[in-house]
Amino acid sequence: MSAQPRDEFARFAVVGRVNKGKSSIVSTFTEDDAVRVDPAPRSTRSCQEFRLRVGGRTLFTIVDTPGFEDAGAVLLWLQERETSAADRAQLVEQFVRTFSATGEFPEECELLAPILAGAGILYVVDASKPYRPNYEAEMEILRWTGRPRMALVNRIGSDDYEAEWRRALDQYFSIVRPFDAHTSGFEERLALLRAFRELDPSAIDALDQSIAMLQADWDERRRESARAISEMLVDALTMTIERPAGEFDDHKAKEREWNEEFRAAMRERERRQRRDVELLYHHDALERREDDLAEDAITTDLFSQKTWRVLGLDQWQLARAGAVGGAAVGGTLDALSGGTSFLAGTVIGGLVGGLSSYFGARNAARVEVVGRPLGGRVAIIGPVSDANFAWLVLDRAILHAIAVSGRAHAVRAALVLSPGEEERRVGPSGKLDARERDTIGALFNRIRRAGGTDSETAGALTDRVAALLERT
């Protein structure tokens, strides 16, 4: 395929009546939080153009248009002047020229202009409302333009009239697809682009390249998410903070304060990682609510007792998981899904790891007071000694990344993360087979022993996290 000039890209006009979700579809398609999504009618009065860009290049443009106001009168004007079906597109152009000059039919003139300039049509209807024959005038006008067109069946309310809408839409549009702007993810968007390329031969090259670039960009975002999670895992395994410890200070009395400072630092590290992932998926204005949460929400305090059990892991299950991790052997126990063969196949070192895990939620980080040649005595707080802590951090990060990558940009409510029934029983890492868990566990042990990581270990950990993101 020859290279596409930089100024060639597909253009779409999102068309329909007022308050049918057009702006929400634009926001989701372009991954743009800045698109105004307003439940009040007549929120879009003029055309607004939004571009989806990757690597500085525009892949496609979507035009958010006003809704039809008097389609019946427009169609009557056109029909009174029709002489041949071959001249219908020119007659629509004549209508726009005529009434743009007089100021009449402002909404129709505004929405038809980008279509006549070459944009493909995405016609949006609300299938939670009954079909009415008066929609036929606007659909007929769109047919007269001669432009490629696809109907998107949105559902804003709870009622379902999709079947009757489809029977009508099939008479005016070559492709009719359901599309919920609040739930549709990346694959649904790609599917619509692939379908539209079949309608418009002139846009095939542009859309093919856009689809390929979108897929490559999505894969890279997942890789970058995995890298951000891996870097946080290294910190979870190795992070320490230092505090001055005077020669005669009561160090034991200070341990609670030091531990809380350590926990605050770790919480802040997790928040930074979450924000990094949110920005990767263009959720620049995302509000994440972490204070007023249900007791079992995964955004509950990283160090609280209920967080340790939020993914369905009670203390004895955590102990079994820690036993396997502490032993660093390829056991057969499915530790994170409630296996019954407690400590089967492990060595005595695993038992030590397991007991450490049992008490780990209560004793997050160890404290050691040492002397510095020039700095006096200092307390070193951390790292977290619990064998399961990195697995908990991993599961929380995976669930957050999946929620963010799958979140449509039309959704403007605060992001509140709660595990589903499956996650209550077993977290993402619990779905790994024994070999995969051993591989990740070995990487954790290597990082913990070395107090950090090299490029080879970091790359291997990123690979494993990326694979977990892809399958979850």
The reply to whether 231 and 186 lie within a common domain is no
pLDDT for residue 152: 95
64-118 pLDDT, tens digit each: 999 899 999 999 999 999 999 999 999 999 999 999 999 999 999 999 999 999 9
308-355 pLDDT, tens digit each: 444 444 444 444 444 444 333 222 222 332 332 222 222 323 333 333
CB 411 within 8 A of CB 182: yes
The Cβ of residue 268 has, within 10 Å, a number of other Cβ atoms equal to 10
Could you tell me which residues are beta bridge partners of residue 176? 151
Let me know if residue 213 belongs to a domain.
no
pLDDT for residue 259: 85
Q: How confident is the model at residue 212 (pLDDT cuts 50, 70, 90)?
A: very high
pLDDT for residue 4: 38
**372 SS3 class:** strand
Task: Give the chain's domain count.
Answer: 2
Of 21-25, 52-56, 383-387, 435-439, least confident by mean pLDDT is 383-387
Q: How confident is the model at residue 414 (pLDDT cuts 50, 70, 90)?
A: confident
The reply to whether 163 and 229 lie within a common domain is no
The reply to whether 335 and 403 lie within a common domain is yes
38-79 pLDDT, tens digit each: 655 555 568 999 999 998 899 999 999 998 999 999 999 999
> Which of 140, 165, 199 is the last residue in one of the domains?
199
The reply to whether 190 and 245 lie within a common domain is no
CA angle at residue 179 from 177 to 185, to 5 degrees? 125
The reply to whether 23 and 114 lie within a common domain is yes
pLDDT for residue 357: 40
Measured CA to CA in angstroms, residue 74 lies from 99, 106, 113, 144, 379 at distances of: 10, 11, 14, 12, 79
Cis geometry, peptide bond prior to residue 114 (ω within 30 degrees of 0): no
Q: How confident is the model at residue 146 (pLDDT cuts 50, 70, 90)?
A: very high
d(CA 416, CA 418): 7
Domain membership of residue 396 as a residue range: 222-471
The reply to whether 236 and 168 lie within a common domain is no
The reply to whether 151 and 299 lie within a common domain is no
The reply to whether 100 and 228 lie within a common domain is no
Let me know if residue 192 belongs to a domain.
yes
> Which of 199, 214, 238 is the last residue in one of the domains?
199
The reply to whether 273 and 151 lie within a common domain is no
Greater confidence (289 vs 387) lies with 387
The reply to whether 311 and 456 lie within a common domain is yes
What is the CATH number for 35? 3.40.50.300
The reply to whether 251 and 186 lie within a common domain is no
For residue 419, pLDDT over 60 is answered with no
Let me know if residue 208 belongs to a domain.
no
Let me know if residue 5 belongs to a domain.
no
* Residue whose C-alpha is closest to residue 270's, from 390, 425, 106: 390
pLDDT for residue 422: 53
Reading the block at residue 97, the tokens are: 């020229």
203: burial class by Cβ within 10 Å (0-12, 13-18, 19+)? Answer: buried
DSSP secondary structure, 345-363, as one string: T--HHHHHHHHHHHHHTT-
The pTM of the whole model exceeds 0.85: no
The residues, any chain, with a CB within 8 Å of residue 17's CB and separated by 6 or more, are 67, 68, 125, 135, 138
For residue 356, pLDDT over 70 is answered with no
Reading the block at residue 348, the tokens are: 């005595």
For residue 370, pLDDT over 50 is answered with yes
